[in-house]
Structure formats: C-alpha cells, structure tokens
Amino acid sequence: MIDDELNTEDEQQESEELYERLTLTIDRGQEPLRIDKFLQTRIEGATRNKIQIAIDNEMVLVNDKPVKNNYKVKPLDRIIVYDDRSPGSSEIVPENIPLNITYEDEDILIINKPAGMVVHPGSGNPSGTLINGVAYYLKQQNPDLDDSSLPRFGMVHRIDKNTSGLLVIAKTQKAMSDLAKQFFNHTVHRRYIALVWGDFEQEEGTIIAHVGRHKRFRKIFTAYPDGDHGKDAITHYKVLERFNYVTLVECRLETGRTHQIRVHMQLIGHPLFNDDTYGGDRIVKGTVFTKYKQFVDNCFELCRRQALHARELGFIHPKTRKPVLFESEIPDDMNAVIEKWRNYIVTR
C-alpha cells in the first residue's frame, strides 16, 4: 500500500510555499530496490536524474533521515519527498531590475519587495518580475550559474503582487533545500502588518479555516471553515491600534496559503483596507453620502492596494544553524493612510 499526500493541480497552487510534500509508505511485501529507481516508478514525470539531484540535496528523507542514491527501500520505510512543483528557471530571462536587498551572505538574499511587483513569471507576467531581477543579479555574481545549479534562482516562497515586504532567496542548493523544509514544516516566523475594516471586540485571536480556490470563480480564494475543501490555514492576529472605523493589526502566519490573511480577514468581517479582490475597496462602515465617503476615497488614493506588509521574517540560517530575524519598515503609502486615519479620529 502507498499513501500519497500530494494534492490536485489546483491545490498545489494554494500555498505561498513553493514546495509540496509527497509521502510514501512502503508495502510489507516490497523487495529491496534502489530508492532512485523506486521513486522513478512512483512519481509521474520524474526522471532518474532529477530524483538523484533531489536525493543529493537531502530533499528525500527515509524515516526522517537523508539517504544516498544507492539506498535500498525496505518494507514499511516511510519516504518523504519535498517536490518543487513550480516552473523551472529555464523559463526565466535575467533582467536588470533594481532590487532592495536588506541582507546578503553566501547562502541567502533577503529582499524587501515593493507593492506592485510580481514575484515570479507566470500567465500574464512573463517578465519584469522579482525573480527576473534576481536571476540577473545572481548571474552578475556568477556568470557560470546555470539552471541545474539553482532552479528558479532560489525562490522557496512568495507574497502577493500588491503586498509589500520581505522575501528570502536561497543562493545555494543546500540553502534552498533547507529553507524549503522549514517553510513546509511551518517553523518560519512571518509577521505581517495590515489595516483592516471595522473594530475588534477582542485584542487578539486565531482564525482557523481551510483556504482554497473558489469553486466557481477559480482566480480567487475563499475560506472553508468546515475543512471540506482547500488546505488547512491558521492565522493569529493581534490589535495594534484602533481607529474606530478601521483597525491596525499584526498577523502571524502558522501556515502560508495563497491570500491567507486576505481571505481569513474577510471571513471574520474585517477585509483588508482597499483590497479590491475581497471587498475592502468599498466602504464597510459609515454612511456613504457624507464627508466620510470623501475622506475614505482620499485614503484609497493614498494606498492604492491592499494595506498589507510582510514586516518580519525569521528562520534558522541554513549554514550557521542560528536563528535570524529580519525586519522591514512599513512603506510610505501604508504609513500615509495610517496617519490619515489617526488624525481623522483625533479631530472628530
């Protein structure tokens, strides 16, 4: 019997982490067989070369430990494969795009992404993305860098186009493998700052609801509180400042699903300010036929995207094995709209 935890194509897209995990439990009657040959017959589209590279980079674990290519599977072995399901770097053209690099060493890059920048090429965004810029930057450092040495130029997670803030890029295969596992195992610290509609009854709380693609509108995501669709998602929130009509909150992610904070906040009736996908670009509280409407419209003009910023990113450094934590200041557009609300409440 083989247990396969890999989900459908749609659900493979439902995570900010760009690695999936395939789990296999070997049948009691399995004859000894090299693990690379065994996995080639079990993973659709996998070549022996790709499997051997994954094994060499410790992306394949047997009973929670890395193995060599010549390891022979045994009955009841539990195999975990961390599987990169996103487009390969052969599709990425290096472009000279300015990057706001917060930190860099031999193993990692920490980049502060501006709002409006797409993270990686895809449908409708073939170029001009952060990864195109990273490809150019790393190629300048090492002209011999090729696709097989660093797939997708080290990207292990992503944030939305109109969300600003911190991303980590791996500069080596070992760092990439290590970080991918940390993200998948939910041990990475991620704290976001968000301005959301409405006031909160409590100072803090936790939202638990699966997040998955909308069953009818496939380009957006929705929450499934009963867990009958999508993937498990957990968001912890804490009130930072109240402005009566809107609230400044911090959100700490326990999981990293696509649009997780945006979907979870919509679920509890607090959509992100100016989130045009999940209802935050309309006045949620107040009478529209007053000066209040003009004030809100002016706020929308100051921050022309969902007011969400990835402020903190922390993990275990893949080489030193020491905890590292990086912070990014709230960008000017969010600061401007926060200050405008702060002054509005004071003067009322």
**What amino acid positions are annotated as catalytic residues?**
160
Residues 269 and 198: beta-carbon distance below 8 Å: yes
> The dihedral of CA 158, 162, 163, 164: what is its sign?
positive
The set of long-range contacts for 99-103, using a CB threshold of 8 Å and a minimum separation of 24, is: 99/130, 99/133, 99/134, 99/137, 102/166, 102/326, 102/328, 103/326
Per DSSP, the three-state class of 183 is helix
Residue 35 φ/ψ, nearest 5 degrees: -65, -35
- 162 alpha carbon, distance to own chain's centre: 13
CA triple 316-317-320, angle to 5 deg? 115
* DSSP β-bridge partners for residue 17: 157
Report d(CA 71, CA 62) in Å as an integer.
9
Write out the two tokens for 167: 């991303």
Report d(CA 224, CA 209) in Å as an integer.
6
Residues 157 and 187: beta-carbon distance below 8 Å: no
Per DSSP, the three-state class of 177 is helix
Query: Is residue 220 classed exposed, middle or buried when 0-12, 13-18 and 19+ CB atoms within 10 A define those classes?
Result: middle
- 274 alpha carbon, distance to own chain's centre: 21
Per DSSP, the three-state class of 227 is coil
Task: Quickly count: other Cβ atoms within 10 Å of residue 314's Cβ.
Answer: 16
